[in-house]
Structures are given as structure tokens and as C-alpha cells.
Structure 1
Amino acid sequence: MTIEIGTLIAVSGLIISFLAYQFNRQKELKSDTREDGEIKAQLGYISKGVDDIRIELRASEKQIGALGERVTRVEESAKQAHKRIDNLEKEGN
């Protein structure tokens, strides 16, 4: 009879241990799943931010290109103006 009680206690202990293990494992899986979801959401925000930066960079590159063209035109115009001034000075002497 004492062996049966000892066996019953040992089996009960094993069952309780197994159930506790299963419960903690499920809790851990839920926690991991929640953390994975949070990480994916953060990556989504980062990805959107990078996309916004790329769009702004393209717009800035276009503006810089347009300014470069305008500077070139102004330089050409200034060069022509200097030639005209030089010609006027030659004629005036």
C-alpha cells in the first residue's frame, strides 16, 4: 500500500510537472509571437520612412539638376555680356 501511494505521488508529480511545462511553453510561444508582431510593425515603419527619404532624395536631385542647368545658362550669359563689354571698350578707345 505504501508503494502504491508513493507511485501515485510520483505519477502525480510527473503529470503536474508536464502540465506546468506545457503551460509555460504556450505562454512563451504567445510572448514570442507578440514580440515578432511588434518587430514586424517596427520594420514596417522603418521601411516606410526609408521610402519617404528616397522620394525626397529624388526630388532634391531633380532640383539640384535644374539649378545646375540654370547656373550654366547664367555663366554663358555672363560670358557673352563680358564679350560685349570688351567690344564696347575696344570701340570706345
Structure 2
Amino acid sequence: MDQVTVSYIVAAGALGGVIFGYVGYVSGVKKDTYVAGEKTGEQQADTSYIKKRVDDILLEQRDTNRKLEGHGAELSDHAVKIARLEESAKSAHKRIDTLEEKG
């Protein structure tokens, strides 16, 4: 083979190496971009899920607070009734003690 043919083969090999190197680089960049986008999308989905759950918890808490406020009035009514019953029981015990002392 003459030197010109060898020079062409070497030049074609060098050019092929440059082309394959560039193609590999572009493929790596695309893959890195895809992985970064996938991670970002996953984080956004997780963040959206967390926001939704927090909103649900807040709504449940508000509902619970409303229910407790409604029961608060009932509880205070019960407390008044219990206090009256205790006073009545004390009065009854005094009357019973007085009757026992007389009898």
C-alpha cells in the first residue's frame, strides 16, 4: 500500500473516532438530562402529594373542631345538671341525718 492510502485510512479512522465520541457524548448528555428530569418530576409529584395530604388533614381538623364545639355546649349543660344533682344529694343526706337523729 502506498502512503496516500494509509493516510486516508488513518484520517478516516480518526474522523470515525471523533464522530463516535461525539455521538457517545450526546447520548450521555441526553441520558443525564432524562434522569435529572425524572428526578425533578418525582420530587414534584411527592410535593403535590404532601400538599394534598396536609390539606386533607386541615379539613379533618376543622371538622373535628366543629364537632367538639357542638359537644362543648352539651358538656356544660351536663356539668350544670351534675352540680344540681350533687346539691340535691347533699340536701337529701342532711334530711336523712336529721331524721336518723330524731328517730
Fold agreement, TM-score > 0.5: yes
Unaligned runs of 5+ residues in structure 1 are none
Residue 30 of structure 1: SS of its match in structure 2?
helix
TM-score, normalised by the number of residues in structure 1: 0.72
Indicate the residue corresponding to 1:62 in structure 2.
Answer: 66
Residue from 3, 21, 34 that aligns with 1:30? 34
* Deviation sequence 1:46-90 (CA, Å, 0-9, x none): 221121011112221332343344223212221122223433554
Unaligned runs of 5+ residues in structure 2 are 99-103
Larger Rg computed on CA atoms:
2
Indicate the residue corresponding to 1:52 in structure 2.
Answer: 56
Within 2, Cα distance between the matches of 1:25 and 1:91?
96
Indicate the residue corresponding to 1:7 in structure 2.
Answer: 11
Within 2, Cα distance between the matches of 1:30 and 1:90?
87
Q: How many residues align?
A: 93
CA RMSD of aligned residues (A): 2.5
Q: Structure 1 vs Structure 2: percent identity of aligned residues?
A: 22
Correspondences of 1:65-76 after superposition (within 5 Å) = 65-76=69-80
TM-score, normalised by the number of residues in structure 2: 0.67
Question: Is it true that 1:16 corresponds to 2:20 in the alignment?
Answer: yes
Instruction: Say which is worse superposed, 5-14 or 47-56, in terms of deviation.
Output: 5-14
